[in-house]
Structure 1
Amino acid sequence: MTSTVPASAGTVHPWFHEEGRPKPSDLRRLSGAETHELLRQETAGLSISLPGPALPAQPFVLPRSSYDELYEVSRVLLSLVRRAVLAQGGSWPARAEALGADPDDYPLLSGQDNTETEYCAMMARPDIVIGERGPQLLEFNVSGTFGGPIETHALAAVWQRTHQDDGRPPFTGSDPLVARVQAFEDVCARRNLPKAVAVVGSLGDLLEDSDIRFHQLTLDRFRRRGFTADFFEPHELPDALGRPGALRYPLGLRNFALLDWRERGIGIEPVHQSQRSGFLLLPPQSSGLLANKKALALVSEGRPWMTRAERRTVEQHLPWTRLTIPGRTDWQEGEHDLPALLFRERDRFVLKRAIGQMGREVVVGRHTGHQAWEAAVTGAFEAGDSIVQEYVEPLSCPLELTDGRATWTAPVSPVLSPMLFNGRAGGCWARFLPDGSAGSEGKISVGEYSATENAVLTWA
């Protein structure tokens, strides 16, 4: 039998709350136990992190104005990051060097600089927390391999079944799988290409049903919109393209991370060979440079070409961010020696490696001992490979949770990730810790810190 534990009283920040709307819990038509079981069933085999025992019993539901603001802020800041990176050199290898990256780490740069430039921002997912000033963008993930599309699609589908208002789903949101296909439709229309796409990845050593289902869901959405779509391991790719003659699949969805392939000994020569045949792999590898956190520091400092409106957006929605280069800098209407400032104000800052993933290269000052912080700061300035960002205290919002027996509402502080596909809104993914904590060492991550995932929706 499912019981309900009442939520503690508290004021919800207006960004999360819309007056006059019912509580999502009042619209849930399944019991906590049924919701718990449905989540487990419908997300099985999709690499969705629901460690439990407490699972969400509802989506994060935002007012329409807040939901739309996530995408608008993301679009503006992505455009600024793209422009800042392009200004670093006349070619993509030159831009990599200017950002302190090794061009050899980007072996799939096609050499077609105009094409790389056109599609480098094709798919993007920022990570955002909500502070007192609204959305605060912490970093960008720009590639074809970021987490979120499958997870958001599947979780949103569950919430459409569990919650009803007069027989209709009360929540809505853009679908990342549809938006991604639409982005490929744009490419086909612009280049007069047939609607055929090869999803390139690797199932790994174990061909489990979970792996197959994950890829089948991607292929299904392409096929529903008239694409010929199939999944290929890299070694299968050259023959699958149908050379000589017109390519059977002129486009590819890059659904792999080179670092993973290197660790597993998977070679990329078949991908190179396919690119030389005219195969357009999207997003191109130039997209990885937009994820370099040094680009955020450049935008935070301000570029001469930025408009007043763009500067206001940066000031309001991008936390103060600087390169770890010795010297003096502005902060809070004063000028400071940057290393001395970080040593003195440890609780106010976060240190991040410019190229990193899943929070592994992040050091949060307030969750780090004095000696460890000084060592991290010293190393970052010696290497010149990091950025420092002002810490944002995330606001919490209420979320109904269930362990399959009881249901209760608890305050949690989510990381929100609105996805963009050719500028289109493509669903919003969220990670949070059910106990409301700030996470291990102040970080919330699925891969490293077992955060729970959810979808972010708005009122229909």
Structure 2
Amino acid sequence: MTGAGAPARPARAVDPWFLEEGRSEPSALRTATAAEVGDLLRLELAGLDVSLPGPWRPAQPFVLPRQSYDELFDIARTLLALVRRAVLALGGGWPARAEALGAEFADYPLLSGQDNTETAFCAMMARPDLVIGEGGPQLLGFDVSGTFDGPNAAHGLAAVWERTHPGLFFGHDPLATRVRAFEDVCASRRLPRAVAVIGSPGDPRDEAGTRWKEGDLEQFRRRGFTADFLEPDELPEALGRPGRLRYPLGLRNFSPADWDERGLSLRPVYDAQRAGLLLLPPQSSGLLANRKALALVSEGRPWMTRAERRLADRHLPWTRITLPGRTDWRGTEHELDVLLRTHRERFVLKKAIGTTGGEALVGRHTDPTDWQHAVTAALTSGDSVVQEYVEPALCPIELTDGTGTRSALVAPVLSPMLFGDRPGGCWARFVPGSETSDDVSRGVIGVGAGACENAVLTWADPVA
């Protein structure tokens, strides 16, 4: 089905960006039965909080040509650098930058006050969300923090596909790459290898609350780190205060907003920072996820080179802050209000601050009256951005219900992860659809209920 007022969508073929000539289908190379795949997904992913709602689940990873796989990380790295520079160029320190982006400074209670440190590490961990459009990868938004989804799921799913397709695929490991980013920090700051993974309290009987913690700690310990998971009330004693800190580094595995909603005090973390704990990533990273920063890059900054402008034009859909006035779109000036009301099917409205896709309103899938009200509200408050809609390309995948398999074409959201500027694996979400419906792209912008997760890999060896 299509959204209200949206044109009927013709059947589409697989986009060449996903394909490599001379390769067999991964489904033909799988060494496990459908039942064995189902068992492996259940056993290997238990406790990792991976979304596989079923009945149809992936029976293989998304497998890209090496050129396409590497391109994801190259684009992510370049656009992240542009977003970071756009935020830094707002000047005046991090509190002033938050104000310039329409954020409440009170929502960033863990800004350390050490601007140089915040600046050095604000882009340490990032996960863009991209779809493949006519011009290749198209950036929908960034999640820049220590709490984004994807690392554990991509790591666990890649382990499953290694067992079902042994030796065939390659992928950067997000958990190992994150540790290497911390090694770089230790080397640059001359710090001992000791890290406290700081998170929310959980029920020790809850497997989902313990397995991912142990996996994270094991990755650090393999590389010679002293590593422990600490809850907030454990911080003062565990850090070794007074005296020299037992853990000079902290991995921020929580969102201050989440703690506030649960009535948890940030005071222990704040005190630990004041005692010398380097909390990574710093809370300034959240400003890079503000979609207004993305709009600044899309509009173009005076310091951008021609090459940077070309790359942004190619891989960042037209994005603007929802402020009344004239704007350029497709080479012609328009009143933004009139443009959005006249071409509803061409745009997506998104809150500037919020979870990726969670506050997105897709014009072609929205009732015209509801769209008009949303445009009025966005232009009045100025708290949103508008982004040109990208029709996502289709990718082949084999799905299983645990008893049999079927081939499908889906429109995945691809999320290459960066840790300390290093490629750190790629996570994906997609809507499996049904055996009778080809409407797989409607849920892409706000992938949520009914979406499956998967790992994105490439071939381990060149094509013969």
Deviations 1:35-54 (A, max 9, x none): 01111111011110011111
Report what 1:329 is aligned to: 327
Give the aligned length: 446
Report what 1:4 is aligned to: none
- For the pair 1:374 / 2:372, whether they are aligned, the reply is yes
SS of equivalent residue, structure 2 residue 179: helix
Instruction: State whether residues 432 and 444 of structure 1, in contact with CA within 8 Å, keep that contact through their aligned partners in structure 2.
Output: no
Report what 2:114 is aligned to: 112
Q: Superposition pairs for residues 102-141 of structure 1, below 5 Å?
A: 102-141=104-143
Instruction: State whether residues 412 and 444 of structure 2, in contact with CA within 8 Å, keep that contact through their aligned partners in structure 1.
Output: no
Report what 2:457 is aligned to: 457
Residue 415 (structure 1) aligned to one of 413, 416, 424: 413
Report what 2:4 is aligned to: none
Instruction: State whether residues 293 and 387 of structure 1, in contact with CA within 8 Å, keep that contact through their aligned partners in structure 2.
Output: yes
Deviations 1:333-363 (A, max 9, x none): 1110001000000000000000011533111
Report what 1:170 is aligned to: 168
Q: Superposition pairs for residues 348-427 of structure 1, below 5 Å?
A: 348-427=346-425
**Runs ≥4 residues deviating over 2 A:** 9-12, 203-207, 436-445
Which sections of structure 2, spanning at least 5 residues, go unmatched? 1-10
- For the pair 1:63 / 2:65, whether they are aligned, the reply is yes
Report what 2:273 is aligned to: 275
How many angstroms does 1:203 deviate by?
3.4
Report what 1:53 is aligned to: 55
Deviations 1:181-210 (A, max 9, x none): 000000000000000000000133564122
Q: Superposition pairs for residues 57-456 of structure 1, below 5 Å?
A: 57-164=59-166, 169-204=167-202, 207-435=205-433, 437-438=439-440, 443-445=445-447, 448-456=448-456
How many angstroms does 1:442 deviate by?
5.7
In 2 relative to 1, CA 59–187 (structure 1 residues): closer, same or farther, beyond 3 Å? same
Aligned residues with identical type, % of pairs? 66
Instruction: Read off the aligned partner of 2:175 and give its amino acid letter.
Output: L
In 2 relative to 1, CA 351–121 (structure 1 residues): closer, same or farther, beyond 3 Å? same
Instruction: State whether residues 85 and 289 of structure 1, in contact with CA within 8 Å, keep that contact through their aligned partners in structure 2.
Output: yes
User: d(CA) in 2 for partners of 1:51 and 1:449?
Assistant: 8
Instruction: Read off the aligned partner of 1:121 and give its amino acid letter.
Output: A
Instruction: Read off the aligned partner of 1:54 and give its amino acid letter.
Output: W
User: d(CA) in 1 for partners of 2:148 and 2:450?
Assistant: 16
User: d(CA) in 1 for partners of 2:205 and 2:191?
Assistant: 32
Instruction: Read off the aligned partner of 1:19 and give its amino acid letter.
Output: E
Instruction: State whether residues 195 and 249 of structure 2, in contact with CA within 8 Å, keep that contact through their aligned partners in structure 1.
Output: yes
User: d(CA) in 2 for partners of 1:233 and 1:117?
Assistant: 27
Which sections of structure 1, spanning at least 5 residues, go unmatched? 1-8
TM score, norm. by length of structure 2? 0.94
User: d(CA) in 1 for partners of 2:201 and 2:270?
Assistant: 20
SS of equivalent residue, structure 1 residue 114: helix
SS of equivalent residue, structure 1 residue 124: strand
Deviations 1:117-145 (A, max 9, x none): 00000000000000111000000000000
SS of equivalent residue, structure 2 residue 110: coil
User: d(CA) in 2 for partners of 1:301 and 1:359?
Assistant: 21
TM score, norm. by length of structure 1? 0.95
Over the residues paired in the alignment, what is the CA RMSD in angstroms? Answer: 1.3
User: d(CA) in 1 for partners of 2:229 and 2:358?
Assistant: 30
Instruction: State whether residues 360 and 446 of structure 2, in contact with CA within 8 Å, keep that contact through their aligned partners in structure 1.
Output: no
Instruction: Read off the aligned partner of 1:406 and give its amino acid letter.
Output: G
